[in-house]
Structure 1
Amino acid sequence: MASCTQKSTFLSPILVFLALLLLLSSSVADLSFNFYAGSCPGAEFIVRNTVRSASTTDPSILGKLLRLIFHDCFVQGCDASVLIRGNGTERSDPGNASLGGFTVIESAKNVLEIFCPGIVSCADILVLAARDAVEALGGPVVAVPTGRRDGTVSLAENVRPNIIDTDFTVDKMITVFSSKGLSVQDLVVLSGAHTIGAAHCNTFNSRFKRDPNGNFELIDASLDNNYAQTLMNKCSSSMDPTTTVVNNDPETSSTFDNQYYRNLQAHKGLFQTDSALMEDERTRKIVEILANDEEIFFERWSESFVKMSVMGVRVGEEGEIRRSCSFVN
């Protein structure tokens, strides 16, 4: 694991990288570092403190917060639309049924509304919380620009066409990422989010089949046999595959590190989309680089995370600053 001193060296490349990003889009150009320095100087501290506090009682919340930003940003941009409650919203779609971390975002918002009413967007809180979750688990310290505004539209019909299903091929994943302005490298790097968190059995049990006695049999030859047996034992003992969970990373599930890529090399990728990264030359080469050098992974993660966090942002007069993250004003 890289030391704290090593991690801090990633900030300079990120600042250079973002300086280039800011030239690409007028929307992105309206974001800035320390956006709340004058209007709500304690904003980032409040979010970080809320995340840390929540994780002391429920360590799994950190992985949930990181997953939440993916499901928000990939559907019509990073506008906190996934947080909105109601029939027919993104949050109501079955593809988002297993999401968590909503209460942490709302808790941070509640505190911010006391000290800085109507100032800090839920979209910024969501990005900062995901950033802080990674840092809390030993990952890199990432400087992210803020100034996003909240979206006012949230439709369930927008979810499925924009999120990655666990049985996607590399070509399908590249198509989705490319449509968001993200590269093949971003795909492999951001897949590294699976170094933390957990998944329900029904998200990967298509890699097995049940025999007449109700036991699982392996049908996916890309999985390590011993690892597959562990998964089958865990999932076959449950009557409900939507409630039993398995760690995404079987080795270091509570640490944000590059073990995920070493798992892929050992054929221990939990999802088909994980294993697929080793089966395609375009992605396998990147996996090998990241598996061999954690510092490179942290640097690339910082870059790709920021790129994702500025996708489709609302700024200026667009959207609004919600009073509650669960509802539009």
Structure 2
Amino acid sequence: MDTKALVFPTLISTLFSLSVVASVTASLSFNFYAASCPSAEFIVRNTVRSFSSTDPSIPGKLLRLVFHDCFVEGCDASVMLQGNNTEQSDPGNRSLGGFSVIDSAKRLAEIFCPQTVSCADIIALAARDAVEIAGGPVIQIPTGRRDGMVSAASNVRPNIVDTSFTIDEMLKLFNSKGLSLDDLVILSGAHTIGSAHCSSFRDRFQEDSNGKLRVIDKELDSSYANELMKHCGTSASPSVTVNNDPETSMVFDNQYYRNLMTHKGLFQSDSVLLNDNQTRTLVENLANDQELFFERWGQSFLKLTIVGVKADEEGEIRRSCEATNA
């Protein structure tokens, strides 16, 4: 792959990214709720912490939720809308979780600040707080997003990364959202927490004539592949899940990149990051320096959470995250 044809040189890319962030965040603010709802961020953080204390899978679910929200229709809580043919009804979204956390935070916000705090902001803040609660960096993101009024299942597949994607396929999608090749590698670090159903990586194995699985993806470490096959045999229930990170599954750290270096990336879309010289170099740097990962994560996460935002008079502030106000 010729990455030079697809991305700017590092300095130019960084300056361009900063200009994009600046132009979008002009409609947002780091103290957006200071006067209208001073307790907004506290409400979200406290709710995330409360749910996470009884269910350690919550941080990973919230982090996945923000990706699926922002990549489809922008960061506008369209993924929260319920009904026939909404985003939630697409098969790729049926395993999403964390909805109850967002709904709970929204109900509390409505008590203290009626129709003031958007569901879109709650999703972004909840994912930010989930990372911190799991041991990741403390970062600030602007607020002021408004909630969208469109949610269609048909918009999901063209806008969500499939675990079987190549670098070219992922980069094309990321670029369409204003995200760079570096952002792709850094945001893939979200797989340091969370879990996945066996079906999401079953294409790395094949069933033989005796009904047993065998490895067909040589990118996988053999011992790791055997462990995956034990958990996800042909008789395994569709509900069976595997930790994204086999080493520190509940901690937001740079172990994901160290796993990649030893060929223990769960998804094919993880493993392919070693196949390109530019992405491999960044993977190596992040694997060797957790502080660098945390610093770069803050920058890329900010860019993620302003993808396609609706602000000012666009959209609405929903009374309930499950339905539009109309």
Q: CA deviation at 1:239?
A: 3.4
Moved over 6 A (4+): 16-19
Q: Is this contact kept in 2: 1:238–1:244, CA < 8 A?
A: no
1:158 alignment partner in structure 2: 155
Name 1:62's counterpart in structure 2.
59
TM-score by length of 1: 0.92
Measured after TM superposition, the shift of residue 280 of structure 1 is 1.3
- Indicate the residue corresponding to 2:281 in structure 1: 285
Q: 1:317 is matched with which residue?
A: 313
Residue 196 (structure 2) aligns with: 199
Matched letter for residue 306 of structure 1:
L
- Which of 317, 322, 326 pairs up with 1:326? 322
Alignment of 1:233-252 (within 5 A): 233-236=230-233, 238-240=235-237, 242-252=238-248
Amino acid at match of 1:319: G
Query: How far apart are residue 213 of structure 1 and its match?
Result: 2.4
Deviation at 1:76, TM superposition (A): 1.4
* 1:10 paired residue number: none
Distance across 1 between alignment mates of 2:16 and 2:159? 26
In structure 2, the gaps of 5 or more residues are 1-14
User: Cα–Cα, structure 1 residues 19 and 183, in superposed 2: closer, same or farther, change >3 Å?
Assistant: closer
- Cα distance in 2 for residues equivalent to 1:274 and 1:52: 29
Any idea what SS the aligned residue of 2:125 has?
A: helix
* CA RMSD, Structure 1 to Structure 2 (Å): 1.4
Q: Secondary structure at the match of 2:23?
A: coil
How many Å apart are 1:114 and its aligned residue? 0.2
- Are 2:213 and 2:234, in contact at CA under 8 Å, matched by a contact in 1? no
CA contact (8 A) 2:21 2:306 kept: no
CA distance in 1, matches of 2:275, 2:222: 17
Tell me, yes or no, if structure 1 residue 80 matches structure 2 residue 77. yes
3-state SS in 2 of match to 1:217: strand
1-side partners of 2:79 and 2:41: how far apart? Answer: 21
Specify which of 295, 303, 318 is matched with residue 299 of structure 1. 295
1:118 to 107, 115, 130: 115
SS of the residue 2:123 aligns to:
helix
Residue by residue over 1:252-296, the C-alpha shift from the partner in whole angstroms, topping out at 9 and shown as x without a partner, is 001000000000000000000000001111211110110110000
Give 2:38's match in structure 1, choosing from 35, 41, 57: 41
* CA deviation string 1:213-264 (max 9, x = no partner): 2221011000000000000011016433x31000000000010000000000
For 2:163, give the aligned amino acid: T
- Output the CA distance in 2 between the equivalents of 1:258 and 1:61: 19
Distance 1:149 1:176 in 2: 23
Residue identity over aligned pairs, in percent, reads: 65
Indicate the SS of the match to 1:277.
helix
Q: Say if 2:223 is the partner of 1:226.
A: yes
Match for 1:115: what amino acid?
F
Quote the Cα distance in structure 2 between the aligned partners of 1:198 and 1:229: 18
- Look up the equivalent residue of 2:319 and give its one-letter code: R
Contact 1:149 1:318 in 2 (8 A): yes
Question: Of 48, 51, 57, which aligns to 1:51?
Answer: 48
CA displacement at 1:23 relative to structure 2: 3.6
1:24 corresponds to: 23
How many Å separate the matches in 2 of 1:34 and 1:17? 25
**Secondary structure at the counterpart of residue 236 of structure 1:** coil
Query: Does 2:88 align with 1:91?
Result: yes
Amino acid paired to 1:326 = E
Specify the code of the residue in structure 1 equivalent to 2:277. E
The 1:44/1:238 distance shift into structure 2, 3 A limit, reads: farther
TM-score normalised per structure 2: 0.93
